[in-house]
Amino acid sequence: MRLVYLLPLAGVVAVACGGKPAPTGGEGPAQPAAAAGPDGNERLDRSIVPTRYVLDLTVDPAQPTFKGAVAITATVEAPTRTVRLHAEGLELATAQAEVAGERRPAEVRMGPNGGLALDFAQPLPAGEVVLHFDYAGKLGEVPHGLYRVEDGDAWYAFTQFEALHAREAFPCFDQPEFKTPFVTTLRVPEGQLAFTNGPEAGRSADGGVTTFTFAETKPLPTYLVAFAMGPLEVMPAPADAIPGTPLRILATRGKGKLAGYALERTPLLHAALSAYFDLPHPFAKLDQVAVPNFSAGAMENVGLVTYRETLLLLDGATAPAQRKMWSQAVVAHELAHMWFGNLVTPTWWNDLWLNEAFATWMGGRTVAEVDPGLEMDLEQVWGAQFIMLADSKKDTRAIRQPIRHGGDINNAFDGITYGKGAAVLRMLEAWVGAEAFRDGVRAYVRAHAHGNATTADLMNALEKATGKPVGAVAAGFLDQPGVPLVQMTLTCDAREPATLTMKQTRYLPVG
């Protein structure tokens, strides 16, 4: 999630290095074509579906470029001469398709917004192919894609891929419906550390470069892939803090001493969430990273959750209650994503609310349960009032809206998705009953674990669990903008029974 800051709390809930190079996938440069490439904002169809990524990146955070190689295994539905995917700001040295052990060079067409087309002289057959790329990219200092940060006397590299920035780090099918396992190798200057979504499987040093290999992940969409590299400090929690899941805090040099509060509260918040879903942590590890330059606020990357460092690092003995509440709310929000968004991912961005509204609702609910003295329930009421005011404007939008281009995706990360979406969920829970609602949520998560889902899938699960027309009721709040105004008129006549007339219209404030 990219955390959106709209309210004091409701918004809280927005040159390669030397040494051994990345391996190459074949000889000869990719051949540029004269024709323009596709627009990366246009949605890819499912005629070619990725099934596995093998990534190899060589990164020196002190340098402004990096090198990479990626092999993407994919299934081709029908014979085709053209493969469409994404890559932005990358210089492709080789682009090839491997079919039955034979490498075929591609003619490359780059389009706007990270659109990429590979054209082949002969059609690729239906079935399995492996796309191979060797490339170089820029390691900039703007906090999106793969970027670098100078903190103190050291450089670090971090990532922010949601929503459309994974394509800046490696060629990929950059859409949430394409969930695949990732196998990653990271090469960094000797003496530095490297982290990604999966647990470390091994490391070796050679020629001033340390190579880190990582275990294969569960299926992930590209926007949840993440890396962190540099002379990071690692603060582990006790082995049993989260049963079966290692928990660590990562921080830049000299800041690890402030990790204690997060290490203390994270297991408590996680336990409450795990109990609600009746499922353990769905991934192999949980690293939380404090990033000095991070515009998103926080991001729920599987196994490597990133935070603006002021939200994760604080002195529990001296920090005011409000800052503790914000910190716990953000952590709880990100942890809720492990089930809503990460384990079960929306098929497309028009259902972003399934990620962000649920994480906002569950985050606040969890903090109120774990630490009632912080009075999170009052903040939730105030947040709902604030969102109702924003939603009463004529130019507001619906929670669910058509996503036609990249701008629509970015616009969806706002208070309507987060705040109004969370308020609608609280309303539905109050209507059907907390236990019945929970049962529906549990059924939904289990049915779509490690896959994708839509709003219709959630509504079907809730209706089966509650026996009520949840979908029809929710649609009035999800698919149209505005706040309903109910007016009641009582008519009294001595000769007739009293009559109560009710009228519903859209509320519009005066002026």
Rounded to the nearest angstrom, the gap between the alpha carbon of residue 440 and the centroid of all alpha carbons in its chain is: 23
Nearest by Cα to 3 from 417, 451, 423: 417
Classify residue 261 as left (phi > 0), alpha (psi -120 to 50) or beta.
Answer: alpha
Q: Are 313 and 327 in contact (CB under 8 A)?
A: no
| Residue 22 to residue 27: CA distance in whole angstroms | 14
Q: Nearest 5°: CA angle at 360, between 358 and 362?
A: 65
Q: What does the H/E/C string look like for 389-414?
A: HHHCCCCCCCCCCCCCCHHHHHHCCC
| Residue 166 to residue 144: CA distance in whole angstroms | 9
| Residue 462 to residue 443: CA distance in whole angstroms | 8
Extract the tokens encoding 353: 């609310």
Length, in residues, of the chain: 511
DSSP structural state of residue 420: I
Q: Are 331 and 265 in contact (CB under 8 A)?
A: yes
Question: How many other CB atoms sit within 10 Å of the CB of residue 140?
Answer: 15
Contacts of 261 (CB under 8 A, 6+ apart): 313, 314, 315, 316, 319, 324, 327
DSSP lists the bridge partners of residue 92 as: 135
Place of tokens 């582990």: 236
Please say if 334 is a catalytic residue: yes
Sheet holding 182-189, edge to edge: 102-105, 90-99, 127-138, 65-76, 48-59, 182-189, 209-214, 200-206
Contacts of 97 (CB under 8 A, 6+ apart): 83, 103, 104, 106, 118, 120, 124, 129, 130, 131, 132
Question: How many other CB atoms sit within 10 Å of the CB of residue 56?
Answer: 23
| Residue 146 to residue 455: CA distance in whole angstroms | 31
Classify residue 482 as left (phi > 0), alpha (psi -120 to 50) or beta.
Answer: left
| Residue 507 to residue 247: CA distance in whole angstroms | 47
Catalytic entry in 334, 356, 379, 429: 334
Q: What is the CA radius of gyration of the chain?
A: 24
| Residue 316 to residue 491: CA distance in whole angstroms | 59
Single-letter residue type at 144: H
Task: Report the catalytic residues.
Answer: 334
